[in-house]
């Protein structure tokens, strides 16, 4: 069968997904991307059935033209999918135009439009942060008068924590609105600030049924990390994801996915455990998670979760794996300004936790800062006991220092 994978560029993650799709039996793979075929590794490019370059993969008209052209030369299109967040809605629209199975455009709109998402979740009885779409400074001030400072503002162009800001006073509100003007044509989402511990919930759904889950805990929250460039943060994937303490989010997560119209695929839900013990969902994406969580799931089960996702998207099947380990990622972020000057404390960490380290990308002298909240490098550790992984993460972010200068 002929399958199309869509990605903006041939990043390492996209290339890994393409390679996984090429291993699926009886699949001929076409790729739509903004880069020429020459930008893909030659040994991978040679195995593709087709390639089509477009200026912007998120433009539904351009995407439709590319899909029609590939279908005309390669036959019926069985699947058309991608992992990029901003792609989900145009992909759904194009699939419907060609009768290709996949997430509906209505459901994709629910996931992509965060204000619409929260309206749908609240209507379904799912706990979410209070929110309002604002189109002006007066709108923002009226919302703040209702919920109090701080609030969180999310421009429509942002993905994840990118461009999201915590507003503590009128001055920070005005600065935000200068950088991201709120208008009737481009409204901004305002939310109450949730206090507590932030987690993620990853779910595999088949035909609308939530059949498997994983979860992680952020320390501290991604918003804290975005606001403080020096913070070295962690993501912990505990081994005990079926513990009673997570009964509430498992039930609420499945209810939320049903309300939004999830079909077959992987979803990434960010949620909070408030200080009083109650939970609230922040937002949900109909795609695999970032921030190394996909790799962490792979290491926790000794599987290739990227390949499992690709098989799920193509064949609609998923074999729930056995969880064998707790896994954690420590993100290494530069202190100061300039290029990476030195990295301190790595040898001590290797000596203490070398047997637990399963993946790492270490900063190197002369490296330019990434400008990303994921920092200049990371270390991933795993162990059968969650407490051991927690201890290792604490030691890593406490002792490793990336000096810039």
Q: Residue 396: which CATH number? A: 3.30.470.20
> Residue 276: helix, strand or coil by DSSP?
coil
pTM metric for this prediction: 0.92
Question: Containing domain of residue 280, as a range?
Answer: 196-404
- Indicate whether 257 and 385 sit together in one domain: yes
Nearest to 30 by CA among 69, 83, 56: 69
Note down pLDDT in tens along the chain; length 405 residues. Answer: 999 999 999 999 999 999 999 999 999 999 999 999 999 999 999 999 999 999 999 999 999 999 999 999 999 999 999 999 999 999 999 999 999 999 999 999 999 998 899 999 999 999 999 999 999 999 999 999 999 999 999 886 544 455 788 999 999 999 999 988 999 988 999 999 988 999 999 999 999 999 999 999 999 988 888 888 889 999 999 999 999 999 999 999 999 999 999 999 999 999 999 999 999 999 999 999 988 999 999 999 999 999 999 999 999 999 999 999 999 999 999 988 999 999 999 999 999 999 999 999 999 999 999 988 899 999 999 999 999 999 999 999 999 999 999
H helix or E strand, kind and range, residue 399: helix 386-399
Q: Angle at the Cα of 26 (from 69 to 315), degrees rounded to 5? A: 85
Q: What total number of domains does the chain contain?
A: 3
Residues 6+ apart with CB under 8 A from 128: 118, 121, 122, 280, 281, 282
Q: At what angle do helices 346-353 and 386-399 cross, to 10 degrees?
A: 160
Residue linked to tokens 């990029």: 84
Cβ(148)–Cβ(286) below 8 Å: no
10's tokens: 């041939």
- Please tell me the distance from the alpha carbon of residue 246 to that of residue 329, in angstroms, as a whole number: 21
- Indicate whether 295 and 255 sit together in one domain: yes
Cβ(271)–Cβ(246) below 8 Å: no
* Chosen domain end from 192, 222, 238: 192
- Indicate whether 23 and 134 sit together in one domain: no
- Indicate whether 343 and 265 sit together in one domain: yes
């Amino acid at each position: 069968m002929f399958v199309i994978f869509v990605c903006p560029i041939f990043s390492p993650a996209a290339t890994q997904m393409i390679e996984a799709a090429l291993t699926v039996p009886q699949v001929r793979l076409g790729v739509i991307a903004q880069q020429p075929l020459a930008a893909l590794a030659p040994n991978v490019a040679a195995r593709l059935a087709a390639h089509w370059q477009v200026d912007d993969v998120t433009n539904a008209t351009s995407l439709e033209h590319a899909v029609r052209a590939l279908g005309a030369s390669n036959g019926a299109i069985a699947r058309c999918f991608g992992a990029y967040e901003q792609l989900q809605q145009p992909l759904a629209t194009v699939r419907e135009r060609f009768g290709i199975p996949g997430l509906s455009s209505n459901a994709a709109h629910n996931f992509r439009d965060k204000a619409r998402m929260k309206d749908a979740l609240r209507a379904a009885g799912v706990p979410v942060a209070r929110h309002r779409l604002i189109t002006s400074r007066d709108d923002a001030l009226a919302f703040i008068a209702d919920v109090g400072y701080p609030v969180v503002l999310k421009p429509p162009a942002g993905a994840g924590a990118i461009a999201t800001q915590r507003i503590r006073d009128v001055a920070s509100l005005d600065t935000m609105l200068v950088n991201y003007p709120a208008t009737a044509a481009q409204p901004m989402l305002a939310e109450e600030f949730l206090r507590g511990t932030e987690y993620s919930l990853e779910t595999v759904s088949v035909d609308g049924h939530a059949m498997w889950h994983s979860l992680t805990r952020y320390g501290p929250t991604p918003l804290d990390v975005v606001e403080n460039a020096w913070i070295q943060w962690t993501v912990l994937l505990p081994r005990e994801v079926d513990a009673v303490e997570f009964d509430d989010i498992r039930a609420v997560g499945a209810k939320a996915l049903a309300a939004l119209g999830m079909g077959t695929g992987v979803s990434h839900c960010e949620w909070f455990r408030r200080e009083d013990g109650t939970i609230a969902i922040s937002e949900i994406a109909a795609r695999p998670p970032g921030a190394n969580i996909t790799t962490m799931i792979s290491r926790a089960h000794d599987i290739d979760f990227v390949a499992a996702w690709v098989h799920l998207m193509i064949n609609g099947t998923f074999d729930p794996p056995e969880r064998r380990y707790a896994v954690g990622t420590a993100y290494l972020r530069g202190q100061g300004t300039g290029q990476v000057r030195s990295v301190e404390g790595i040898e001590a960490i290797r000596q203490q936790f070398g047997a637990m380290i399963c993946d790492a990308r270490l900063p190197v002298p002369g490296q330019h800062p990434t400008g990303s909240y994921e920092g200049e490098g990371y270390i991933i550790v795993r162990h059968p006991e969650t407490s051991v992984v927690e201890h290792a993460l604490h030691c890593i972010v406490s002792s490793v220092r990336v000096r810039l200068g």
